[in-house]
Amino acid sequence: MDCTFSFSSATQHLPQRDEEQLQQWKCSRPWYHGAEHSPSPGDQGRTRSPAGQGSLSRRLEPLECRDLLVQNALFTGDLEMLQKYFTRDSAINLIIEARGAELRWTSRKRGLWSLSYEQELTTPLHITASRGYTGCLRLLLLRGATVNFAPGGTTALHEACAAASAACARLLLAFGADPEAVSQDGHRPLHLCKSPDSIECVQELLQHGASVKSRTEEEGDTALHVAARHGLTDHVQLLLRHGAELEAENEEGQTPLNAACAQPHQPQDMDRYYRVCQMLVESGASVNTADRDRQRPLHLACKNANARVAELLLTQGANVNIMSYSGNTALHNILQAAAYKLEHQPELVVQVLLNHGAIRIWPGSLLKVLRHCHSCPRAIEALINSYDRVHVSEDWAEAVPTEVVQKYPRFYQSLFSLGQRPRSLQHLARCTLRTFLEGRLLTVLSELHLPKALHHFLLLSFEDVLY
């Protein structure tokens, strides 16, 4: 084969260019044509020759590399070996096939199909950028690698941002990488900054002209949607400073606030999502914007059992009783999720909603709630304490598994005993006052300098027993 790529003597025959496959690849990959004509820093001032004429043309044409020593040097970041392999006259824009984890049907010849692992096309530039090998990346760029080459559907800049490698992103941008390049999946580099460590990548992209208003092609997400969905406080703050749109809606009709509230998260991340929502709300985000399913941020926050976010939205004017398209209120959502979100303390959400005037469950449905939420007795406690009386029958005891009763004996014994005795006078006084102050309970209580214990009692504090 006529090429000037230098290899070890044991592997000189391994890089190959299959002309038929290469022609098919050229026709099916729109990225190739733009890359072929994109000047790189090492090519400034040079005149390109037609294909097959001159070393520059040979160096820029994509070749298929199967040399394991070259691949190992790239994947391990062996700068010394890369300096040996990638000389100034070498073919830099090599295509390397990496095997993905998913099986798919493929055909290399017409009529013959086989089930094999998906082949992902990558290049030396992509490999070094995705692994943070800045020295290797600089070498390749100085030797003439095409900075926006994207045989696998993404540029090296996409890879650097996805890996949160700010140094590599900075280097690629300095060599002319397009901060607005669109991947095959319709994502720009800014949309791939999904981890807390990627904040410096966001800064670099914005400084080099990336637009905070650009959207992903399928989902219609802006960078603010992405940052909010992943609970990235620093990203949200930075994007807002650069003019990100608070009320931009994606294909699902979600604003960034909706996206943050809708994203399931672990208990240890609840504070992070609260701070994101707080930042968006304080910047002017609407707390009542509905998505395509007529779900508001409060509906979504309650599905994820984040009490602090629910409290934030309610204090900013969220409608506690509005229904989604499916007919659910926020209280319905938290009761449906309680059994699966025990570590999130769903009882706090039930308490918050009731104290903000949520319409209570029809008493005839309390048995159904008990069957579903028995593993979260405090949610049952808050709900039962919002009524002056409930009809407790033998079916209630049958609705709670024995092992749950044994785990919370004091509470469930007190609940089942309500079938034989009335509620206490203290509880009845609480219900009377709550009914009288309905709709303005929190406002009035904040002005009444009540003893702390009485204040908590009126707001349905948990005692793990009913009386």
Q: Are 32 and 151 in contact (CB under 8 A)?
A: yes
If one counts the domains in the chain, the total is 2
Residues 133 and 37 in one domain: yes
Point out the domain boundary residue: 281, 297, 319. 281
- Strand 112-122 and strand 94-109: pairing? antiparallel
In a domain, 303, yes or no: no
Residues 173 and 228 in one domain: no
Residues 34 and 147 in one domain: yes
Residues 226 and 134 in one domain: no
CATH number at residue 234: 1.25.40.20
CA distance between the termini of the chain: 89
Q: What is the largest CA-CA distance in the chain?
A: 98
CA dist 391 and 379 (Å) reads 18
Residues 75 and 21 in one domain: yes
In a domain, 406, yes or no: no
In a domain, 67, yes or no: yes
Question: In the beta sheet, which residues pair with residue 94?
Answer: 63
Residues 15 and 76 in one domain: yes
Residues 87 and 137 in one domain: yes
Residue from 355, 289, 359 nearest 330 by CA: 359
In a domain, 456, yes or no: no
Return the amino acid letter for 164: A
| One pLDDT digit (tens) per residue for the chain, 467 residues | 333 233 333 333 333 333 444 344 333 433 333 333 333 333 333 333 333 333 333 444 567 888 888 989 999 999 999 999 898 777 888 898 876 555 656 565 556 666 655 557 899 999 999 999 999 999 999 999 999 999 989 999 999 999 999 999 999 999 999 999 999 999 999 999 999 999 999 999 999 999 999 999 999 999 999 999 999 999 999 999 999 999 999 999 999 999 999 999 999 999 999 999 999 999 999 999 999 999 999 999 999 999 999 999 999 999 999 999 999 999 999 999 999 999 999 999 999 999 999 999 999 999 999 999 999 999 999 999 999 999 999 999 999 999 999 999 999 999 999 988 999 999 999 999 999 998 899 999 989 889 999 999 999 999 999 99
Scanning the structure block, which residue is given the tokens 């966001």?
Answer: 202
The residue segments making up the domain with residue 165 are 1-43+53-99+119-178
In a domain, 452, yes or no: no
In a domain, 16, yes or no: yes
> Structure pTM?
0.82
Q: Is the dihedral of CA 109, 111, 114, 116 positive or negative?
A: positive
Residues 35 and 135 in one domain: yes
- Cα 325-331-335 angle, rounded to 5 deg: 105
Helix 307-315 × helix 270-282 angle, to 10°: 20
Residues 173 and 233 in one domain: no
CA dist 76 and 78 (Å) reads 6
Scanning the structure block, which residue is given the tokens 């938290």?
Answer: 334
In a domain, 370, yes or no: no
Q: Are 281 and 240 in contact (CB under 8 A)?
A: no
Residues 27 and 92 in one domain: yes
Residues 34 and 170 in one domain: yes
Return the amino acid letter for 2: D
In a domain, 224, yes or no: yes
Residues 32 and 154 in one domain: yes
